[in-house]
Amino acid sequence: MSGAEPWQNFYVMVGGAAAALTGLVLVAVSLHLRAILAHPLYRDRTHTSLQGLVTILAVAAAVLTPQSASALGIEVLLLGLYWLARFARFIRLFTRVRPGDRAAPGSLYLWEWVPWLGWVAALVAGGLFLLGGDTRAFYVLAPWAVSGFVLIVWNAWVLMSEVGS
């Protein structure tokens, strides 16, 4: 087993919260779909919010699935590698958008990169710990999930405020 048994209640709660927030973000996005689709950074914020929630949901489902720590580690690590590639893609996108079109006045895009990169690094680290059979990975993945909710709600709020301005 993966050593996740003591963490089951936590991941049931995390998975349920991620599923509920995904639905709320989808509704909010659908109300402003044209404006979001018309701007590359708004589209990216939307994808980041939705993909982040789905990633948290996928990790919760993987943790609750009976499997070895190594198998769980591969799944978590693959998600972390996806997010590293996603982060690199965003930086390329951001640098190609004209500075005047990057965000509403007062946006914190550049400062937001730091916690997002930490979030991605924690996911990768959790996968590596699990791959090595180290169940302390759950002490990395628990704050990863909680901080993910904070980042994603922030991201969705900024998106809605940018689209609404």
Task: Please state whether 88 falls in left (phi above 0), alpha (psi between -120 and 50) or beta.
Answer: alpha
The C-alpha atoms of residue 147 and residue 24 are separated, in whole angstroms, by 18
The C-alpha atoms of residue 37 and residue 159 are separated, in whole angstroms, by 12
- What one-character-per-residue DSSP string does 34-54 give? HHHHTSHHHHHHHHHHHHHHH
Query: Tens digit of pLDDT per residue, the chain (165 long)?
Result: 678 999 999 999 999 999 999 999 999 999 989 999 988 888 888 999 999 999 999 999 999 999 999 999 999 999 999 999 998 887 777 677 666 665 554 455 667 778 989 999 999 999 999 999 999 999 999 999 999 999 999 989 888 888 876
Give the global pTM: 0.90
DSSP letter (8 states) at residue 77? H
Nearest Cα residue to 119 out of 158, 157, 73, 86: 86
* CA distance readout (Å), 63 to 6, 9, 66, 73: 11, 11, 8, 10
Contact 48, 158 (CB under 8 A): no
